[in-house]
Chain A
Amino acid sequence: MSILSVQDIGIAFGGVRAVDNVSFSAETGQVFSIIGPNGAGKTTLFNLVSGVYQPKSGQVRLDGEAVTALEPNRLAERGLSRTFQNLQVFFRMTARENVMVGRHLKESRGLLAHLLALPSTLRQNRESAEIADTLLSRVGLADYADTLASSMPYGALKRLEIARALAAEPKVLLLDEPAAGCNPVETEEIEKLIRTIADDGVAVVLVEHDMKLVMRSSDRVLVLDQGRVLAEGKGAEIRSNPKVIEAYLGTHGTREANLALN
C-alpha cells in the first residue's frame, strides 16, 4: 500500500476548477514528481494535500488513514511535511531556530517547564539545537546557524526550508520548487539532497520546473495541465508520451529531457 494516496481530489476558485479529479500515490523511498506548465495547479494540489486548502471533492490517505481536510498540524503529526514555493521562512529567527521549530512535534511541550526553564526544557533546547545543527550541515548551511533568516541569501533559504521540514522526521515530504532561483551548483546539491532523503526512506513528492532535475531524480512523474492529470508514468514514458510532448514539453523540453537521461 502507498504511504500517500490521493483520489479524485478537486477544488474550484470562483467557478474555475483549479484542481480537477486528480489522483496519484507516492511510495516510500521514491521521488514522485509533479510537473506541468505555470497555472497547471501544482501548488494548489500541494495545498490540498497538506491541508492548507480544503478540497471540494476527493480523498487523501496517509499511511492508509483517511486524512482529507485535516489541519496541516494534524497532518504533520501523522508524518507529512512540506516546503513552500513562495518562501515561508521565520525571518525574525536564526537559521538554527528555524530548524528547531521543525522539531516542534518531537519536543516536550509542557508549558510550566518552559516558563520555569526546568532542566528538562534546557536539555530539550540543547538537543533540538544539536539536531538542527546536524541538519544545517546536511543541507550545507552550517555556516549560517547563527544568522538571522532575514539576512540569508535566497538559495540558502530554500535549503533552510528543507532542513526545517526534515527536522520533523517526516514520512512524506512535499517539496515545492526547491531549486527555483538557485544556481546550477546549488541545484545539483539539492538534487543530491533529494535523492538521499528518499534513500533514507521518505516518500518525496516534488514540484519542479527544472526538467533536468526532475528527469534525473524522479521514480515516477505526474503531468498536470489545467488542473487535470495529463499523464503519469516513469520519466522515460512521460518523455515519449505524445500528449505530453504536444501539450507541455514541446521539442525543446524533449531535447532537454533526453540530454538529462543520456
Chain B
Amino acid sequence: MAEFLQFCVSGLTVGAVYALVALGFTIIYNASDVVNFAQGEFVMIGGMATVFLTAAGVPLPLAALIAIAAAMVVGLALHRLAIEPARGASPVTLIIITIGASIFLRGLAQVVFDRQFHSLPSFSGDTPIQFGGAAILPQSFWVLAGAGIIVLALWAFFNRTLLGKAVLATAANRLAARLVGINTSFVVGFSFVVSAAIGAIAGILVTPITLTSYDIGTLLALKGFAAAMLGGMGNPLGAIVGGLAVGLLEAFGAGYLSSTYKDAIAFIVILGVLFVMPGGLFGRASVERV
C-alpha cells in the first residue's frame, strides 16, 4: 500500500507536467490546427530563465514572473514571425516550422544560458511529508496545486470571459468566428501566448524536482504530444487525463513491471487504447460526411 501510494504521487507529479504540456498543445491546436512541437521549449524557458535570474540576485517570485513573461514574448514571436507568415500552408509544413523553432530555441538557450543542468531551491523546503508510508516532497504539492489552479483558471476564462468565448468560437469554427467579427489571427496569437505561459509555469514549478537544462524540451514535447493524443486531440479534459495517465503508467510500469521498459509500457498502453478508441479516450466518434 505504501508502495502504491509512493508510485501514485510520483506518477501524478510527473504526469501533471505532461498534462500541462498537453494542455498547451491542445490550446494552440484548437485555435489554429498547428501541433506546436516547440511546446517543450516553453517549459525549458520558464525553468532556465528563473534559474538564471535568481542566480543574478532577483528574488524568486519576481524571477518567476519575468520568466513567464519572457516565455509569453517568445510564444508571441513564434506566432507572429513563423506561424502567421506561413498562414494557409499545410499542417505538416507548419509542424516542421515548429520543429525548426524548437531547434532554434534550444540553440538560443545554449548561447543565452548554458549547457549545464540547473536546479532551483524547493519553494517550501525539502523535508518529505510522510503520508500512509509514502514520502512526498512538498514541491509535489506545489506542482499539483499549480496544475489544478491553471486548469481552473482556464476553465473560468473560457466560460466566463468574452475573449475566452471568442477562443472557443474560433476553435469550433474558424470561418464562422471570422464572420461574426472575431479577429481569429489575434485569437491564434493569444493562444500561443497562453500556451507559453502555461509551459513556463510548469517549468518553474517542476525545476526543483526534476532539474532543467537547455534541451529538456524535446522529451516533454514527445510525452505531452502522446498524452494529448491519448486523451483525444483538441479536448482539454483529455489532455489533462492523458498527461496524468502517462505519468502514472510510467511510475507503475517502473515500480511493478520493469524500470528498463517503463517508457515502452506507457507507449504500449497508448497504442492499445488507440486501437480500441481511434480518437483517444475523450475523442468523439466522427461520422464521415460525403
Asked if chains A and B are in direct contact (CB within 8 A), the reply is yes
Which residues of B are found within 8 Å of A47, using beta-carbon distances?
A: 290
Interface string of A71-115 (1 = CB under 8 A from B): 000000000000011101000000000000000000000000000
Which residues of B are found within 8 Å of A52, using beta-carbon distances?
A: 288, 290
- Is A86 touching B289 in the complex (CB atoms < 8 A)? yes
| Alpha-carbon distance A86/B287, docked complex (angstroms) | 15
| Alpha-carbon distance A52/B287, docked complex (angstroms) | 10
- Is B287 touching A84 in the complex (CB atoms < 8 A)? no
Which residues of B are found within 8 Å of A53, using beta-carbon distances?
A: 287
Q: Which residue of B lies closest to A13 (CB)?
A: B287
Q: Which residue of A lies closest to B290 (CB)?
A: A84
B289 to chain A, nearest CB (A): 7
Which residues of B are found within 8 Å of A88, using beta-carbon distances?
A: 290
B248 to chain A, nearest CB (A): 33
A2 to chain B, nearest CB (A): 25
| Alpha-carbon distance A53/B287, docked complex (angstroms) | 9
| Alpha-carbon distance A84/B289, docked complex (angstroms) | 10
A87 to chain B, nearest CB (A): 10
Interface string of B145-176 (1 = CB under 8 A from A): 00000000000000000000000000000000
A88 to chain B, nearest CB (A): 6
Main secondary structure of the interface of B (DSSP, over half): loop
Which residues of B are found within 8 Å of A84, using beta-carbon distances?
A: 290
Which residues of B are found within 8 Å of A13, using beta-carbon distances?
A: 287
Which residues of A are found within 8 Å of B289, using beta-carbon distances?
A: 86
Q: Which residue of A lies closest to B287 (CB)?
A: A13
Which residues of A are found within 8 Å of B288, using beta-carbon distances?
A: 52
A50 to chain B, nearest CB (A): 9
Interface string of A229-262 (1 = CB under 8 A from B): 0000000000000000000000000000000000
Which residues of A are found within 8 Å of B290, using beta-carbon distances?
A: 43, 47, 52, 84-86, 88
B131 to chain A, nearest CB (A): 45
Most buried by A among B287, B288, B289, B290: B290
B151 to chain A, nearest CB (A): 29
| Alpha-carbon distance A232/B249, docked complex (angstroms) | 59
Interface string of B275-290 (1 = CB under 8 A from A): 0000000000001111
Residues of chain A from 8 to 33 with CB closer than 8 A to chain B in the complex: 13
| Alpha-carbon distance A53/B289, docked complex (angstroms) | 10
B286 to chain A, nearest CB (A): 12
A168 to chain B, nearest CB (A): 17
A75 to chain B, nearest CB (A): 15
| Alpha-carbon distance A84/B288, docked complex (angstroms) | 13
B283 to chain A, nearest CB (A): 16
Interface string of A43-86 (1 = CB under 8 A from B): 10001000011000000000000000000000000000000111
| Alpha-carbon distance A88/B288, docked complex (angstroms) | 12
| Alpha-carbon distance A47/B290, docked complex (angstroms) | 8
| Alpha-carbon distance A47/B287, docked complex (angstroms) | 11
| Alpha-carbon distance A77/B199, docked complex (angstroms) | 53
Which residues of B are found within 8 Å of A86, using beta-carbon distances?
A: 289-290
B267 to chain A, nearest CB (A): 30
Q: Which residue of A lies closest to B288 (CB)?
A: A52
Q: Which residue of B lies closest to A14 (CB)?
A: B287
Residues of chain B from 250 to 290 with CB closer than 8 A to chain A in the complex: 287-290
Q: Which residue of A lies closest to B289 (CB)?
A: A86
B285 to chain A, nearest CB (A): 11
| Alpha-carbon distance A88/B289, docked complex (angstroms) | 11
| Alpha-carbon distance A224/B92, docked complex (angstroms) | 43
| Alpha-carbon distance A43/B288, docked complex (angstroms) | 12
| Alpha-carbon distance A13/B289, docked complex (angstroms) | 12
Residues of chain A from 190 to 232 with CB closer than 8 A to chain B in the complex: none
Which residues of A are found within 8 Å of B287, using beta-carbon distances?
A: 13, 53
| Alpha-carbon distance A178/B147, docked complex (angstroms) | 54
B145 to chain A, nearest CB (A): 39
B177 to chain A, nearest CB (A): 22
| Alpha-carbon distance A34/B290, docked complex (angstroms) | 17
| Alpha-carbon distance A188/B26, docked complex (angstroms) | 50
B79 to chain A, nearest CB (A): 29
Residues of chain B from 211 to 263 with CB closer than 8 A to chain A in the complex: none
Which residues of B are found within 8 Å of A43, using beta-carbon distances?
A: 290
Q: Which residue of B lies closest to A50 (CB)?
A: B290
| Alpha-carbon distance A43/B290, docked complex (angstroms) | 8
- Residues of B at the A interface (CB closer than 8 Å) are 287-290
A-B contacts, 7 of them at CB < 8 A, read A43-B290, A47-B290, A52-B288, A52-B290, A84-B290, A85-B290, A88-B290
Known interface pairs A47-B290, A52-B290, A85-B290; 4 further A-B residue pairs with C-beta atoms within 8 A, sorted by A's residue number: A52-B288, A53-B287, A86-B289, A86-B290
10 nearest CB pairs, A to B: A84-B290, A88-B290, A86-B290, A52-B290, A52-B288, A47-B290, A13-B287, A86-B289, A85-B290, A43-B290
